[in-house]
Structure 1
Amino acid sequence: MMDVIVIGAGPAGLAGAIASASFGLKVTVIDEFVKPGGRLIGQLHQEPTGEWWNGIKESERLLQEAKKLSVDIRCGVSVYNLEKDDDLWNVHTNIGTLTAPYVLVATGAAEYPIPLPGWTLPGVMSIGAAQVMTNVHRVEVGKKGIIIGANILAFAILNELQLAGIHVDRIVLPEKSPLSGKAGEPEEVMKSLLNAAHLAPSPLLRMGSRFMKNDSFRKIGMKFFPKNGVKVNGTPLLLRKAAIEIIGTEQVEGVRVADTDENGNIIPGSEKIYEADFVCIAGGLYPLAELAAVSGCPFQYIPELGGHVPIHSELMETPLEGLFVAGNITGIESGKIAMAQGTTAGYTIAKHAGKGGAAINKQLQEAVQNVRSVREQAAIQFNPEINSGRRKMSELWESLYSKNTRENSQIKIG
């Protein structure tokens, strides 16, 4: 019988498996995709230091390290239920039921869909799908595209598409509606983008962004936002234009857009069609936490973390004995932070399994501190108030579960 089952072979899951296995625990990792790596295998970007972050190489490094520790990695395995039976967790999959005393759920994140007329046409895809098709499968998604939705994820993948020689003609917002939420409100989009303005290509844009963080200046800026937009790596970002329909007969042929006022309301008579043969919808990310919910783990809605997240400690414990979480299921952040959280979870599991002796407490403290350090150094934050969200979760854990945790682990995180 295995000691640990890790659900999800992304950065958090692989790092957690490596950390657990390094203490001699027998670990099995399962993932529904055909290869390990999760969202890492689609990532390719340049860091502020000038170094390149190659997700495929990083996932390969993690995979080889896991194999050296005899971690059993099984791909193409889907999990449909997770339940506790006495001291063991039963993980129900399409290949049968796997059991272990410890389970790490590292299921990552999913993309918010933004439905609009024509979105079922061939050639329409999520921005994440375009990333995977381009960077993993080496498939050209099209010759001329339009991105609907402006957020940090969209800009990161825009750059990757450009590196692959794929032309993205422009970025527009979705039409303002209950389904598009803040993604259709120009000022809210502007506020979120200002948190990455330090990465802007020109000093003028970086200087202007500081003024735009003031509410009054931002409202003025939105009122007089250029009709032709501002360029992001050469692609026009049009915050005052909204997509109202994707058009085409048998495949995407273009996008019908309309001008909007500074509040995102459509200006009648301003419609125009932009030609395109592919469309990427960028609605942002949310924690993929359904499996933790099925297990009975309690949740909390924390918008700063991306939505509903399982209640957890900085040691990546949940209130359910033997169940741990790591990565984007706990809040939307980068792959580096997911790996740091996975390592923390793996050490915590080893501690609960009685491995490592007294020395493991110091390793855990260093692992938790590393998560904080990586977060502080992150060039881009998907949710600008992530630190506030993490504090809310920490306070919630302290108020509800900390006494029990201290009695069991005797680990002080300072």
Structure 2
Amino acid sequence: MTEMWWIRRDARLADNPALLGAQEHGPAAAVFAWTPPIDQWSGRRRAHLARVLSSLREATGGAVGIRRDRADNAVLAVAREHDSRVVWASREYSPAGIRAQEAVQRALADDGRELRFVGSPYAVAPGRVVKNDGDEYRVFTPFSRAWREHGWRAPAHAADPDYLAAVDSDVDLEAEAARGDSEDPLAEPVEAREAGVLDAWHEFVENGLGAYAAERDRPDLESTSRLSVPLAFGQIHSRTVLAATGAIRGDAARKFESEVAWREFHADVLFRHPRAQRESLTPVIPEDAWARDDESADAWAAWRDGRTGYPLVDAGMRELAATGTMHNRVRMVVASFLVKDLHVPWQRGADHFRRALLDYDHAQNQLNWQWVAGTGRDAAPYFRIFNPESQAAKFDPERRYVRRWISELDTPDYPSPIVDHATERAASLADFQRGKALRAG
């Protein structure tokens, strides 16, 4: 009898308790379900997923199976083929992830089999960090303190890539990668091999982490870890990251850990409040303050295409279109511009990022947009409105970042600003005051 690993957001061999559990009593079968929702992803995300899975198959001598079906059907089929009475998996906490694992659990139980969970994509699973009275934390700083006090396990040892039973596949990963590339190409290649991801992380720890606290807000400098894509696809675990930073003294390592804590805070919020994926947790302005789609069509297109006339906003949107990522400081600026200068609901911006981001993470995306919009947990106040010009002067002082992405900058081909920031800022503040009055009255 062979036990089995259901691959989810953990397509890796290192620090993978679910795979180790499946291998405990013999070679494990392993399957990834290429489910119908994946076919609705952007081409760039599907192409990268195909390459991540190809690299895992290569690392395991082709043993890992990829099946095109609903997760419950695919997992049950492979469990029957290999007589697997126990299927091991990492537990997910997003609304879609919970639905999928409940369906798989039911299908296996009805067939006399067990779905056994171990681990999650987080150092501390959502729902674990609570106040003394058992209530949730609504503010990040005390959450992060309690998160550190809770602590996390050391990384698990790497699994044996040769200790897997061969599972047939019915998905042509090379064809899926090519199809995704043709639909939605990226300007720059992205590392898809687990070994390459780990090498890049170790290089950053050795040579880049020391400058992180001082330079992390500078999009013109190469001062970030670029971990967002491998974290989103599960090629590295946050425990692995925290084990490395925990061995280092100084502000830079603590600041980096704080960014990991933000990721886990947002996952905790979405787990406790699934409606946050579409609904504002805290409404801040009247509904009639938002621009209707027909009113904002031209402004929306200018924002989406990086031609608002505000260089930092336009550079960020062009970086996103070309690479599938965007520097975090610039993400805040472009999101604030959409919501508070163009008065477009945050949900529409979040939907665009879902389609464009290669590093898309549902909890991170939705709650970061709510943070900028002032509607989420411990969000920036709605009256905090990023000035795209002063942000550019402060964080891209020599204009290296904007020049990298805007070839026509400082030429007649570059557009004039589509709105006056001071005017739109005043309008947003007036809407905020009107909303306060309505809530109070």
TM-score range, shorter chain: under 0.3
Q: Tell me the TM-score normalized by structure 1.
A: 0.26
Q: Tell me the TM-score normalized by structure 2.
A: 0.25
